[in-house]
Structure 1
Amino acid sequence: MHQNVYLPAEFLSKIESILPKHLKMDDFISACQRPLRKSIRVNTLKSSISDFMTLAKAKGWHIEQIPWCKDGFWVDLDEEQTPLGSTAEHLSGLFYIQEASSMIPVSALFSDSTKLQSVLDMAAAPGSKTTQIAALMGNKGVLIANEYSASRVKALHANIERCGIRNTALSNFDGEVFGSWLPEAFDAVLIDAPCSGEGTVRKDDSALKNWSLKSIQSIADTQKKLIESAFHALKPGGTLVYSTCTLSLEENQFVCRHLKDKFADSVEFESLSHLFPGASESVTDEGFLHVFPQVYDSEGFFVAKLKKVASIEKSDSPKTKLGTFPFIKANHKQHTEITHSLKDSLGVTLPDDSTLWLRDRDVWLFPQSLEPFLAKFRFSRMGVKIAESHKNGYRWQHQVATALVTGNEGKIIDISVHEAREWVMGRDIRPEGVLGKGEVIIRYNNGILGLGKWVGSRIKNGLPRELVKDKHVF
């Protein structure tokens, strides 16, 4: 039990005043005192759901599908020997550890099966929803992942890279700038807004340590500015999903009503009552999902889906200073040379919806759909670095393994669990009964671990230093 969770009396009184009539306060408190169930989302860019289910069965994991996400599962397993985050499958990006209710916003964003070519994730770190969006986009189009906190961008990029995402560009701005700098530029916008975190007590027993009614109002003021910016950045006919991991009306329903009050008939609320079986238990009069933790045995959460019915003029459109763009697009000859070299070296084919760009000796892969944004906006990180050039050719980067390898390449070496453990600790390996030459792709249990190079009878380890583990995992 999680009995030490801090629940201020004033907070409980507030919850009691907004709790739907069919729910009970005793059940709410009891749910808050229970640890969360483990949940993961299969990364369909790297693994099929059926392959994951086979894997889970082989490992003795008990899994249960999450109703609102066909890729999501609650997982019951013994983590005493190997924590879920230290498994080979997690390290190679086959799945993402994600709280179940946090999968709802992206499911809502894609619920009408419309293909989205340009998406903005306005508050993206650490990347659970960004990676979920990218998977549903099939790595196509362009996904702008913005994070205001500079210290969290590193974790965001690491998760994007681990999950094999190549259609994403990262930015580091206050979300309020997008409405002015990129007006009506996106098919869809997700704003998982910063909030008071009332719904997170099941994973953090001190989440409400600094809770107060005054702080809620201050946060709500910021949320209203963010949702206005998101609405301006949305194309007419586009979809906006607003979500929080909190329960207060001020940070949820009132923020959405503020947008409706300001832009009237240009804003249309879309009901989520049929998003999944049982959604009606949490739906509000407006069609929003207001999820209390006892209903689905999850975190508390709020999700609203809105449509932009008509264009809205933005009076102020300040221009950002872009500075000198440090990349040059590869010409036809350079593109052909790099493409052939990659195919000859590793058997890897470049996706046809991407373009190659050069920066000094570095070779980068950008999604084609990013190009219209390059003259309008400054990014902190774009695309995938695939190579460094040198006098004898190209030195392929780890991102080739994470983002471009499909598993069908001829130059793949399958290694044992012992060799895999050595590999993630940064050591060279000597696969038994196998010899080769040149560069190779390293795979363990259907997960791609990286690139290596034959040196005699051993494979030289090419794992980036920041990914090397200092102890045995899996």
Structure 2
Amino acid sequence: MLPEQFLNRMKNLLGEEYADFLASYDRPNFQSLRVNLLKGGEEDLTKKVNFLKDKVPWAEGGYYYGNEARPGRHPFHEAGVYYIQEASAMAPAAFLAPRPGERVLDLCAAPGGKSTQLAGAMRGKGLLVCNEIHPQRAKILSGNIERMGIGNALVINHEPAYLAKRFPAYFDKILVDAPCSGEGMFRKSQEAIAEWSPENIEMCAQRQRDILESAAVMLRAGGRLVYSTCTFAPEEDEGTISSFLKKHPEFYLEEVEKYPGMTGGMSSVQETDREGMDKTVRLWPYKLKGEGHFVACLKKEDEAKDGALELGIEEKGISLKECKEWEVFQDQYLKVPLSGFYIKFGEQLYLLPEKMPLLAGLKVLRPGLHLGAFKKNRFEPAHGLALFLKPKEVKNTLDLSLQEASSYLSGQTLLKEGEKGWYLISVEGYSLGWGKLSGGVMKNHYPKGLRLCL
């Protein structure tokens, strides 16, 4: 049952289109996923699976799939070949349009769908900072960054206001997918309906304005900021953006391409406070194949005055010479060594992304690519390294069929003859994890906490 106050408001907002909007709640949900562009091309995947249907028009690598498909129970999911993501939720990262080599911040990043989409667009180049204020959700975010084989991400756990003090005018592009009342998810989530109230909308709107204030400080002059929600509430959408623009004349709304089914913002609501809102984007579930979403693309004037952070202050880490065991592992098992600077967290070794800021004072969950751990004069590779590498980059590989991969993912050992040592295990060409061969038995090193039966 939808809240009566919500329905009355939507009827006033939509007028003659209200009946179409209401009818959308009786329509089946559209299922979608996004191909991981870091793992290979879309064309390669479409030859290996038969469940990808029409493309999502506004998102590179986005596809709809049939309700009969179960992509989350497929070995390719565990290999990070794709991310199951609602189609409308792909729009904000697509509009942000990050490029390789940029500094990009996803300020409210968990569970990671938009962060992994940004990473694909960056093609592994530059710095992607993924922040989540809630510690447990930040752990889920970090896990998804690992599964998708992303090496240039810094995952942290902070309040936006803290980061604003730390990173003034630091980022080229910022995504604020703000916590909201979730009205756009009512078709999918009974929990969102149960938690709805006018008071919650008001609370969300104030929180969103606070988050945007922090984001504004962190964006460099000439940079782009994309704000998004999954709610229909004007207070949280056009209202939040209107309020922000009044306080920040150095920002303006960018005109963006609207795909079929997308409309401009609700400028007819309290028109004096919504001037120019036609440049924002509304995604309506009765107009397109997706749920409800709102997106605003903001640009910071090139002449804006910023107290820019000194860009030379970057984490230098340690050199390869200080990582003897890792150097031996690389020489023995990798065809092409990984270059860059390293950092140790206890026994754990990470490869730093480009332009990594100083980490002192940050609550860090993942400072780049997890390479592995030092273990009594030897090096044990991390699961994250396996998902980052491609089989062609490793000397010893074992490619499995889908059935064999299911056995591997459940923790079973494999029988194989060959040179002893570490092997990159893959499934139909996609990296899946590590195995260690000795005496004709491939010991399974797929993490115990991730093992499952497919």
TM norm structure 1: 0.86
What's the counterpart of residue 156 of structure 2? 171
Is the Cα contact below 8 Å between 2:125 and 2:354 reproduced in 1? Answer: no
Deviation at 1:411, TM superposition (A): 1.4
1:459 corresponds to which residue? Answer: 442
Displacement of 1:259: 1.2
Q: Give the match for residue 90 of structure 1.
A: 77
1:45-84 alignment, distance < 5 Å: 45-57=38-50, 61-79=51-69, 83-84=70-71
Once the two structures are superposed, residues 155-188 of structure 1 have per-residue CA deviations (whole angstroms, 9 ceiling, x without a partner) of 1111111000111111112223332221111001
Equivalent positions of 1:431-450 (< 5 A) are 431=416, 434-450=417-433
Counterpart in the other structure of 2:31: 38
CA-CA distance at 1:228 after TM superposition: 1.1
1:12-42 deviation per Cα after TM superposition (whole angstroms, max 9, x unaligned): 11112222x6x62121112123332110000
Within 5 Å, which residues of 2 pair with 1:16-27?
16-19=11-14, 24-27=17-20
Percent of matched pairs sharing the same residue: 32
Name the CA shift for 1:181/1:391 in 2 (closer, same or farther; >3 Å): closer
**What's the counterpart of residue 330 of structure 1?**
318
Q: Give 2:271's aligned residue.
A: none
Give the Å deviation of 1:424: 0.7
- What are the residue-to-residue correspondences of 1:330-409 with 2, within 5 Å? 330-334=318-322, 338-339=326-327, 341-347=329-335, 349-350=337-338, 352=339, 354-370=340-356, 372-375=357-360, 377-405=362-390, 407-409=392-394
From the superposition, tell whether residues 302 and 262 of structure 1 become closer, same or farther in structure 2 (CA, over 3 Å): same
CA distance in 2, matches of 1:202, 1:422: 36
Change beyond 3 A, Cα 1:406–1:459 = closer
Query: Residue type matched to 1:85 in 2?
Result: G
Give 1:418 deviation, angstroms: 3.5
2:212 aligns with 227
For 1:263 and 1:458, the matched residues in 2 are separated by 64
Whole-angstrom CA distance in 2 between matches of 1:347 and 1:426: 27
Q: Deviations over 1:95-122 (max 9, x none)?
A: 0000000000011000xx7545211111
Structure 1 contact 283–289 (Cα < 8 Å) conserved: no
Q: What is the SS of the residue equivalent to 1:187? A: strand
| 1:417 CA displacement | 3.2
Change (3 A) 1:105 1:283: farther
Query: Residue 297 of structure 1 aligns to which amino acid in structure 2?
Result: K
What is the CA–CA distance in structure 2 between the aligned matches of 1:66 and 1:35, rounded to whole Å? Answer: 17
- Deviations for 1:193-241, whole angstroms, at most 9, x for unmatched residues? 0000000012113422232222211210111111111111100100000
Q: CA RMSD in A?
A: 2.3
Equivalent position SS for 1:249: coil
Aligned counterparts of 2:38 and 2:189: Cα–Cα separation in 1: 31
Look up the equivalent residue of 1:258 and give its one-letter code. S
Q: Distance in 2 between matches of 1:417 and 1:240?
A: 42
1:267 to 2:255 alignment: no
How many residues are matched? 438
Structure 2: distance between partners of 1:461 and 1:416: 16
Can you give the 5+ residue segments of structure 1 that lack an aligned partner in the other structure? Answer: 1-5, 318-326
Q: Decide whether the 8 Å contact of 1:116 with 1:187 is kept in 2.
A: no
Q: Distance in 2 between matches of 1:261 and 1:360?
A: 48
**Please, which moves more after superposition, 279-288 or 422-431?**
279-288
Shift of 1:283: 8.4
Assess if the C-alpha contact under 8 Å between 1:94 and 1:447 holds in 2: yes
Deviation at 1:392, TM superposition (A): 4.1
Partner SS state of residue 385, structure 1: strand
Q: Distance in 2 between matches of 1:381 and 1:234?
A: 23
Match of 1:254 in 2: 239
Query: Matched residues in 2 for 1:114 and 1:415: separation?
Result: 34
CA contact (8 A) 2:320 2:342 kept: no
Q: Secondary structure at the match of 2:351?
A: strand
Which amino acid letter does the alignment assign opposite residue 317 of structure 2? Answer: K
Q: Is the alpha carbon distance of 1:343 and 1:34 closer, same or farther for their aligned partners in structure 2, counting shifts above 3 Å? A: farther
Give how far 1:254 is off: 0.9
